[in-house]
Structure 1
């Protein structure tokens, strides 16, 4: 089940949790998003910049 907010999880992250957060938000396996990101880096474009921006603007998921 997809969550309603976009946030970076504390348990499903490799670098910053961006792909894990996107996976939780849209109900997709985070590893598929990671694979798509790595493959997209082979193409020209601002992928790394978009990742960094998401890292900055996505809040950490509060754990309580």
Structure 2
């Protein structure tokens, strides 16, 4: 059994790959995750802070060998 790991996406990224990686980890569409972050941003500003912290903490997806 392979364990799931949270990574920032290399393929599905608009800025830092946080939303793409989180969507892949949760099995959601990346657009939904981006909308949640945007909603959190407009409802108190926490979305931007959470995104920036995740961008710093969550490692980038490893390069898969050919």
Q: TM-score range by the shorter chain?
A: 0.7 to 0.9
> Structure 1-normalised TM-score?
0.87
1:14 match: 14
Specify every segment of 5 or more residues in structure 2 that has no aligned partner in the other structure, as ranges: none
2:48 match: 48
Specify every segment of 5 or more residues in structure 1 that has no aligned partner in the other structure, as ranges: none
* Greater than 6 Å deviation, 4+ residue runs: none
1:31 match: 31
> Structure 2-normalised TM-score?
0.84
